[in-house]
Every structure is written in structure tokens, then in C-alpha cells.
Structure 1
């Protein structure tokens, strides 16, 4: 099943896909464009992987890492499908990162990789935007690169794990204004999903709604204000986001003047 969380008629609703529409938990059918899409789960601890695709590491002239290069992301970074991500005026190079997001479904500690998929509730798509000129180095992405407000659209759907028979062989694509700019496959991960669950759970307890962002393949490109970015993963869907500039924010930058879908 494809599940979502949306805001509609003044409330937040669980929803599911139903013949091209959204069916709210109370039975109402609504059009996808008539809701504000939220992250399909409320993120708890979020692990993000750097250089987890060999072609991407090569693209950046790095050798493949010998153990996972991971960092944490705060909940402030996440926005929903059809959301808007801010590109600061001083950014020289800001690129997308289409990533398979693995959602943990139950408490996990010291899990062996042979049992790892028993602890996955489902999968979604993340687009973990990065501003290259804020980056100190790829081995230690700083907070300013990966924890900016609105920098990580996620969704639109959480697809149940049983509906994705082989998450280790899914096509990945990114489009900028309709032009295909990135192609890859999850089979090219250096550290697969089971390896990552075994690794993280070996030194900390994983909990429901923890999320692992598994990295991005090669094919990154700069994005500009006004660009529409579509990140797509086979069997999960298409996540749409738009790049916006500083002009739609208040002078002190604390509050958006507009939010998802242009609603106040």
C-alpha cells in the first residue's frame, strides 16, 4: 500500500492512494493537488549516507569508503511533496540528491544483516539538497550543508516493505524542468540496506520512524530558483519540489511567506 500524510480542511490526515486520488482515513476522496503534502512519516533519528555509490564517489574523485560515512539530520530539514526548498542568494552551486529512504518499523538492536529487512516498515524518496560551496569536505558534511530548513523534501508515499520485493534493484532518476539529468540503480550501493541496519544497530538502538537515507548515484547538476525537480524511484513514485529564492521569505528569514503549493 502507498500511504501519505496530508493537510486538508484544517487538519492533518493519514491518506492512501485510490485510483489516482487520495482517500483520507475518514473515507473522503480528494484530489492530490487540493492538499498540502507532509512527510509520509514524522522523522525521528535520520541517518544520511555520504559517498555510498561508487560512481558518485568516482564522479567526485574520491575512493570508495571502507565503512559507512554517516551523519545525522534534524526534523527541521524535511518538507513534503510539492514543497519549496530555499536557495540562499549567496549559493554558487546547489544540487539535488535523489535517495532511497528506508523507514524502520520496530525497535532494532544488534541486528544481523540476514534479519535486517524484518525491521523495515517501508520505503520512500528523499531529495537531500546540498550547497556545494558550504561543504567543508565530503567525509564530514557540516551542519550548514545538510541541516538547513526545507533542504530535504521527502515522499510523497511511504510504500509498505512487502510491496517492494527487491529494494536493492530499483531504478533512480532525476529530472530538472523535465530533462533527465540523473540515472542510477540501488544495486550500485557500496553498503546495502541490510549492511546499514546491521552497522547502525551494532552501536545504537533503532526505533520506529528512524530513517536511513542511502545516498545518491552520479549525475548531480546545479539548480536555480524556479527550477522544478522531480526525483523518481521505481515502484515508489515521483517526488516533486521547487527551488525558491530569498525574496519570498521575511526580512529576518525566520518565517516563510508562502508554503507548500503556494498556500499562506
Structure 2
């Protein structure tokens, strides 16, 4: 199933390129008292909600996707975990460009480890990216984004896909400079998630998904998830050694070579096979 958020926090199901509004199902999530949970309530109860989504979608009149503003499909990620230099060719391009990439940041992922992005940086494709530092270089980075579906800790790679709720496209936008990654990549609007959330059963094995990113119609990045240095199960194992993973946590798996700057007015088109395409305006 493909689930989206749109306009004023409406919930929708995507079928044949059109949205069926299923917002009334959100009432099933109930209310929460203080302290609020650290997880996304919809993802935590996804298996119960899917039949209700299907039932409401059958009677909800469809609307074209082009007529709505798409928000991040995950409203309340507790953590956004990201994998740096997780494609060999990206590592090589970063090592070769000493002006753009400070070399103390250019190390193998096994040495660097993972990093966190502020959840306040999360937006949907309809909200776009707002360049915060116009005097500095802001780059695009397309990534497969994995959504955790169960609370888990110290998960073995062999069982890792069992804790995945689904997948979406991620843009890990980046300000270049000497500061730590977590700071430069946590600017407001620098984590774009969308266009919708695709449940794990529709993807199956995420290890062979072709994807590409275009800016103003020009191909900038084109790769396949089979080229990941640490694959999706390995990344879940890695992350869960350090963190308890919660429903709705998002794991960005890394970007391939071809990262390049964008400027206000540019249009980014990001596509991942079996997920879809999202168009993002840079402001």
C-alpha cells in the first residue's frame, strides 16, 4: 500500500496515480497524555490500520496527485539516522575534491559510523527546500529511506528486514563546509521525504532498486542500491547496536556519486524504482 500526507495533514492512499482521502482513520490512533511517545503512532499501529485504509479508500472520491501539496509521509519520526559515504564511487569523488569535501570527513563508513539529522529538518516534496546559506554550496543527495516498523534493539542483519515498515525517497540536502555533518545536514527543510510511504510488502528485497536524480531535467545521480557498501540489513544492524529503533524512525542509506550544488529556482526530480517520483522546488 502507498500512504501519503497532504494539504492540511490529510491522510491518503495512492491508487493509479490518484489520492483517496482516508483521514477519518486517524481517529483510531486515540489521544496521548504527557509524556508523549517517542515513536510515530501511525507506523506503530500500521498492521491494524491497513484494512481500515483500504475500506475508506474504496468509497473516497479520488483526487489527482498534482492537485495537492505533498507533506512528509512520516509525521513524527523519533530519529533520522543517516549513513555517510556508503557508495564507493561517492567516497572516491569526495576524496578527489579536496576543496569541497574536508578530508577529515572523508573516511570509510565503517570508520565514520552513522550520524543523526534533526527531525525539524523533515519536510515533504510539496514544501520544497529553502537554501539557508546562499553564500555557501548546498548539494543534493538522493537516498533510499527506510522506515522502521517495530521497537527493536541489537537486530541481526539476517532478521533486519522483519523490522522494516516500508520505504520512501529521501533527499539528504547538505551545506558544504568544515562543520560536523549533523549540523550541516540538519538545516530546516534539508531532509525531504516522499512522495509517499510504500509498505515493505510492495518492495520485497530493497537491494536491487535503480534510482536517479535530475536537476532542471539534467541527470546528476544514477545508481542502484545493490552498490551500497553496507546494505539495508547491515545498516539496521549497525544502527541498532547504538540506538533503540522505534516505529517511524527513518534510516537514510547513503547517496551515490554525482552530488552537486543547487540554487533557488532549481527543480529536483528524484525517482526510485518501485516507490515513485517526487518533484522538489529549491527556494
SS in 1 for 2:152: coil
Taking the aligned partners of 1:69 and 1:110, their CA distance within structure 2 comes to 16
Deviation at 1:222, TM superposition (A): 1.4
Which segment drifts farther, 101-110 or 90-99?
90-99
Is 1:148–2:187 an aligned residue pair?
A: yes
Is 1:159–2:198 an aligned residue pair?
A: yes
Is 1:119–2:158 an aligned residue pair?
A: no
Taking the aligned partners of 2:63 and 2:175, their CA distance within structure 1 comes to 36
Taking the aligned partners of 2:182 and 2:129, their CA distance within structure 1 comes to 18
SS in 1 for 2:208: coil
Question: What are the Cα deviations for residues 109-131 of structure 1, in whole angstroms up to 9, with x where unaligned?
Answer: 12111111000000000111112
Is 1:58–2:80 an aligned residue pair?
A: no
Deviation at 1:70, TM superposition (A): 1.3
Which segment drifts farther, 19-28 or 52-61?
19-28
Q: Pairwise CA RMSD of aligned residues?
A: 1.6
Q: For the structure 1 residues 183 and 231, does the alpha-carbon distance in structure 2 shift closer, same or farther, using more than 3 Å as the test?
A: same
In structure 2, the partner of 1:249 is none
Taking the aligned partners of 2:67 and 2:78, their CA distance within structure 1 comes to 27
Is 1:36–2:36 an aligned residue pair?
A: no
Is 1:12–2:12 an aligned residue pair?
A: no
Taking the aligned partners of 1:118 and 1:88, their CA distance within structure 2 comes to 38
SS in 2 for 1:202: helix
In structure 1, the partner of 2:220 is 181
Question: What are the Cα deviations for residues 30-76 of structure 1, in whole angstroms up to 9, with x where unaligned?
Answer: 22122221111122211011111111001111453334621111221
Taking the aligned partners of 1:199 and 1:192, their CA distance within structure 2 comes to 10
- Number of residue-to-residue matches in the alignment: 236
Q: For the structure 1 residues 14 and 51, does the alpha-carbon distance in structure 2 shift closer, same or farther, using more than 3 Å as the test?
A: same
Gaps of 5+ in 1: 245-264
Taking the aligned partners of 2:12 and 2:74, their CA distance within structure 1 comes to 12
Taking the aligned partners of 2:234 and 2:17, their CA distance within structure 1 comes to 36
Taking the aligned partners of 1:202 and 1:94, their CA distance within structure 2 comes to 31
Q: Is the 8 A contact 2:132 2:187 kept in 1?
A: no
Q: For the structure 1 residues 19 and 78, does the alpha-carbon distance in structure 2 shift closer, same or farther, using more than 3 Å as the test?
A: same
- Write 1 or 2 for the structure with the bigger share of strand: 1
Which segment drifts farther, 189-198 or 94-103?
189-198
Deviation at 1:14, TM superposition (A): 1.6
Structure 1 residue ranges (4+ consecutive) displaced by more than 4 angstroms after TM superposition: none
Taking the aligned partners of 2:273 and 2:261, their CA distance within structure 1 comes to 24
In structure 1, the partner of 2:20 is 23
Given the two structures, how large is their TM-score scaled by the length of structure 1?
A: 0.84
Q: For the structure 1 residues 12 and 65, does the alpha-carbon distance in structure 2 shift closer, same or farther, using more than 3 Å as the test?
A: closer
In structure 1, the partner of 2:278 is 239
In structure 1, the partner of 2:126 is 82
Taking the aligned partners of 1:63 and 1:211, their CA distance within structure 2 comes to 23
Taking the aligned partners of 1:63 and 1:128, their CA distance within structure 2 comes to 18
SS in 2 for 1:218: coil
Q: Is the 8 A contact 2:148 2:248 kept in 1?
A: yes
SS in 2 for 1:22: strand
Given the two structures, how large is their TM-score scaled by the length of structure 2?
A: 0.79
Q: Is the 8 A contact 2:169 2:195 kept in 1?
A: yes
- Write 1 or 2 for the structure with the bigger share of helix: 2
SS in 2 for 1:86: coil
Taking the aligned partners of 1:229 and 1:191, their CA distance within structure 2 comes to 26
In structure 2, the partner of 1:247 is none
